[in-house]
Amino acid sequence: MTSVLELSPVVPVVVVEDAADAVPLARALVAGGLPVIEVTLRTAGALDAIRAIADAVPEAVVGAGTVITPAQVAEAVDAGARFLVSPGWTDVLLEAMRASGVPFLPGVSTTSEVVALLERGVREMKFFPAQAAGGTAYLRSLAGPLPQARFCPTGGIGPDLAPEYLALPNVGCVGGSWMLPADALAARDWVRVERLAREAAGLSAGARCR
């Protein structure tokens, strides 16, 4: 695997409070047609969740999000993460991700950050926070002068906006958590999660056919 953007048009961004929920949650997402899962490193059980998914759900492609330190890079890969996503980047973090051996998406929100990454040989990036940073209008403006840059927008994207992002030529996928509503996770309603995942997968297919 060399590109995160080519794995799936929609990447669920998951916050796992209880690592025991990781496997049934991953299975529900995979069954719904969303096999790529970004587990954010925001909770104490995140690494255990990545490890559990990597071990028990081989059909899932699990990665780590909210990666902000070189130590987290090493811990995530050791746990089984197959890709890395950061909300922003520094040269130190970028080199750690580059040395990890797995694909990565450093986060950007300005044109200067995009140019700086292109200068360093990175062409695939996370655009975050997508809606707050300018949304589809901003990404459409970047496509002209910087067509070599491609993005995974994340932040404030729901089922209404996802098709608009996916229709852009410089967007490979979008990240979001709308298929993981808090009440469904609290109730461990994996049937509902699977249904919402299937709907999200259908949104991406519709956008690609435009």
Q: Please tell me the distance from the alpha carbon of residue 13 to that of residue 119, in angstroms, as a whole number.
A: 28
Q: Of 8, 83, 9, 2, which Cα lies nearest the Cα of 40?
A: 83
HSE, side-chain direction, 13 A CA sphere, residue 101: 6
> Which residue out of 6, 17, 38, 199 is catalytically annotated?
38
Active site (annotated) includes residue 38: yes
Active site (annotated) includes residue 164: no
Q: Is-cis flag, bond preceding 129, omega within 30?
A: yes
Helix (H) or strand (E) holding 176: strand 174-176
> Which residue out of 124, 126, 164, 194 is catalytically annotated?
126
HSE, side-chain direction, 13 A CA sphere, residue 45: 13
Q: Please tell me the distance from the alpha carbon of residue 150 to that of residue 153, in angstroms, as a whole number.
A: 10
For the annotated catalytic residues, the residue numbers are 38, 126
